[in-house]
Structure 1
Amino acid sequence: MQTFIGDWHALVILVLAGFMPNEVWRMLGLWLGGGIDEEADILVWVRAVATAILAGVIAQILVSPPGALATVPAPLRYGSVLFGLLVFLGFKRSIFAGVLCGELMMVGGKYWLG
């Protein structure tokens, strides 16, 4: 078990320093935001800004990919995004299905190309 988990002290530090501080804010947000109307103008704006930031990050990664993603040919990257989008739209707007299928296409395409 020691070889599988590694140094358990590092895992404890990771949970205490990385996971717990974030969970406190998530739970506080859940508690404070429980009664807010989801269709309030401010929340619609926040969702729109978050979506725009995510779209910008994805576009930047597609156009100038970092690290190992730079070895994936551009047509495969763009095709994987398009395939993921089509699956997303075809499966009742399931983000999980779209991301999973896009990733599988990219990994499979990279494996097939060598």
Structure 2
Amino acid sequence: MSGWLSDFVGDWHAIVVLLIAGVLPNQVWRMLGLWFGGGIDEGSELLVWVRAVATAILAGVIAQIIVQPPGALASVPASLRYGAVAAGFVAFALTRRSIFAGVVCGEIFMLAGKWWLG
């Protein structure tokens, strides 16, 4: 039984370290955020500012990944990366601002383009 679990999970020590060092600290901050932020009005100036800053940071990260792609994404031609972003944005706009639809459409566009280009 131990061999089967080791084959299935791999190095279980790494998973335990990941849970302790990665998941638990994040969960603490999430719970504190829910507890402290539960009474904040969604239309308040502070929350609008926080949302704007978070959106700007996310846009910057996405722009850097597109312009200077890391790892395997560097093998994808720039025109295909930009086309995937455009396709994702169009899907986002057409589906009443569904982030999920935009991401899925961009991924499908990029995978199909990479497959077609070989």
- With the shorter chain as reference, the TM-score category is over 0.9
- Which of 50, 56, 60 is equivalent to 1:56? 60
State yes or no: 1:18 paired with 2:13. no
State the shift of 1:17 in Å.
Answer: 1.3
Q: For residue 107 of structure 2, what is the aligned residue in structure 1? A: 103
Kindly state the Cα deviation for residue 99 of structure 1 after the two structures are TM-superposed: 0.4
Matches within 5 A, 1:1-114: 1-114=5-118
Letter in 1 for 2:29: W
How far apart, CA to CA, are the structure 1 residues paired with 2:61 and 2:34? 26
Q: Which amino acid aligns with 1:45?
A: W
How much does 1:52 deviate?
1.1
Point out 4+ residue stretches in structure 1 off by more than 2 angstroms. Answer: none
With normalisation by structure 1, the TM-score equals 0.93
Deviation per residue, 1:51-108 (Å, 9 max, x gap): 1111112112222222211111111101100000111111121101110110111122
Q: Which runs of 5+ in 2 are unaligned?
A: none
Q: TM-score, normalised by structure 2?
A: 0.90
CA drift of 1:9 comes to 2.1
**Number of aligned positions between the proteins:** 114
The CA deviation string for residues 5-43 of structure 1, in whole angstroms up to 9 with x for no partner, is: 112222122111110111011011101100000111011
Give me the whole-angstrom Cα distance separating, in 2, the residues matched to 1:52 and 1:104: 25
**CA RMSD, aligned part only?**
1.1
Identical-pair percentage: 68
